[in-house]
Amino acid sequence: MNIYAKHGDRVICSTLDAGYDHHKEVAAKYLEVGKEYTIEETVVGDWHTDVCLQEFPGIEFNSVFFEDV
């Protein structure tokens, strides 16, 4: 996905088997492969990018779980 996605952009969950173990645990709890979600914001870091979704306020996901719609 575009790690510089803007508020309101749409992404789709493409996998739950990527990233660090703790990221996988969070993703498995909230995300569904094939489902579309709406970007609240992205926070680009040195090692990964956090994605905040409008559907799950306060929860951060690793960008590796998503593709652009």
pLDDT in tens, 33-65: 999 999 999 999 998 999 999 999 999 999 999
Spell out the residues 6+ positions from residue 37 whose beta carbon is closer than 8 angstroms to its own. Answer: 10, 11, 12, 13, 31, 53, 54, 55, 66
> Rounded to 5, what percent of the chain is helix, strand, coil?
20, 35, 45
| pLDDT at residue 11 in the model | 98
pLDDT in tens, 14-28: 999 999 999 999 999
Residue 68 confidence class, pLDDT cut points 50, 70, 90 = very high
Instruction: Kindly list the domain boundaries of the chain, sorted by start residue.
Output: 10-68
Q: Is the pTM of this model over 0.85?
A: yes
Would residue 47 be called left, alpha or beta, if left means φ above 0 and alpha means ψ between -120 and 50 degrees?
alpha
